[in-house]
């Protein structure tokens, strides 16, 4: 298991959105490399990074930031606007350790299957849920597709890693939806990374406890809690180790 510090990039800056809303943006750093360098010193080796403009526009915008993060020495799982093979290849060629497919995983089984066949475990699917239904296009639209149904479908296509986000909890610091994560972990054979709601070390401990009953639990993404000093990364990483 591990903690994945989160970097969301908008207009070149490191921001956080509350519940994925573009009009609920808080800028934490003008330069995304600044928190990344601090986290590297704290012992992080993985980063979860999202090109928010890419997610909204449907194409990568900030691959230069990905290149810089990889240059620091991180394994980066990267998402946002990866909706064609050429853009996926660009992100992998720049150095992404793992790419995250969201909208296209919901809408295009053939494309996802092609990616899994080509890149295997370097392909993860982000399943972002509002009241159990999958949100797409940077969380702007909510589909009628059930999150668990999508999870099982993409696992049948060979996906080995899922990132499961409860949008209602994202950026709110009021605790992760542990029950929803348990249900997801029970439903699929894939590794699952939890996202959304972590606001304290107690939340990190509650998520880490999932490993005792669910061997496919891989870790948790932590964002706003790090930026606002509610969680110290050097304390959180050993809990998830």
CATH code of 98's domain: 3.20.20.70
Residue in 51, 87, 128, 170 annotated catalytic: 128
Residue in 8, 51, 87, 166 annotated catalytic: 8
Report the distance separating Cα 241 and Cα 236, nearest Å: 9
Report the distance separating Cα 201 and Cα 234, nearest Å: 11
Domain limits for position 183: 2-240
Report the distance separating Cα 234 and Cα 129, nearest Å: 29
Is the pLDDT at 168 greater than 90? The verdict is no
> What would the pLDDT profile of 185-225 be if each residue is shown by its tens digit?
999 999 999 999 999 999 999 999 999 999 999 999 999 99
Per the structure, how many domains does the chain have? Answer: 1
Q: Cβ-count burial of 23 within 10 angstroms (0-12 exposed, 13-18 middle, 19+ buried)?
A: exposed
Active site residue 128: yes
Report the distance separating Cα 12 and Cα 106, nearest Å: 28
Is the pLDDT at 130 greater than 80? The verdict is yes
Q: What is the pTM of this model?
A: 0.94
Active site residue 146: no
């Amino acid at each position: 298991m591990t903690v994945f510090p989160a970097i969301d990039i908008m207009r070149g800056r490191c921001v956080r959105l509350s519940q994925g809303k573009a009009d609920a943006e808080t800028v934490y750093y003008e330069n995304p490399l600044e928190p990344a360098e601090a986290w590297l010193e704290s012992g992080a080796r993985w980063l979860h990074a999202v090109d928010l403009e890419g997610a909204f526009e449907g194409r990568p915008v900030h691959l230069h930031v990905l290149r810089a993060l990889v240059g620091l020495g991180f394994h980066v799982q990267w998402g946002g606007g990866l909706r064609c093979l050429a853009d996926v290849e660009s992100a992998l060629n720049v150095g992404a350790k793992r790419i995250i497919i969201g909208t296209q995983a919901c809408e295009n089984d053939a494309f996802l299957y092609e990616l899994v066949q080509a890149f295997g475990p370097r392909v993860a699917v982000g399943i972002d849920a509002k009241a159990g239904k999958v949100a797409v296009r940077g969380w702007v639209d909510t589909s009628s597709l059930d999150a668990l149904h999508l999870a099982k479908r993409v696992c049948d296509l060979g996906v080995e890693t899922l990132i499961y986000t409860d949008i209602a909890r994202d950026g709110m610091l009021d605790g992760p939806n542990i029950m929803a994560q348990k249900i997801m972990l029970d439903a699929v054979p894939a590794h699952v990374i939890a996202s959304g709601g972590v606001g304290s070390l107690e939340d990190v401990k509650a998520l880490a406890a999932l490993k005792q009953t669910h061997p496919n639990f891989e870790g948790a993404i932590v964002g706003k809690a790090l930026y606002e000093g509610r969680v110290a990364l050097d304390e959180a990483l050993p809990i998830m180790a």
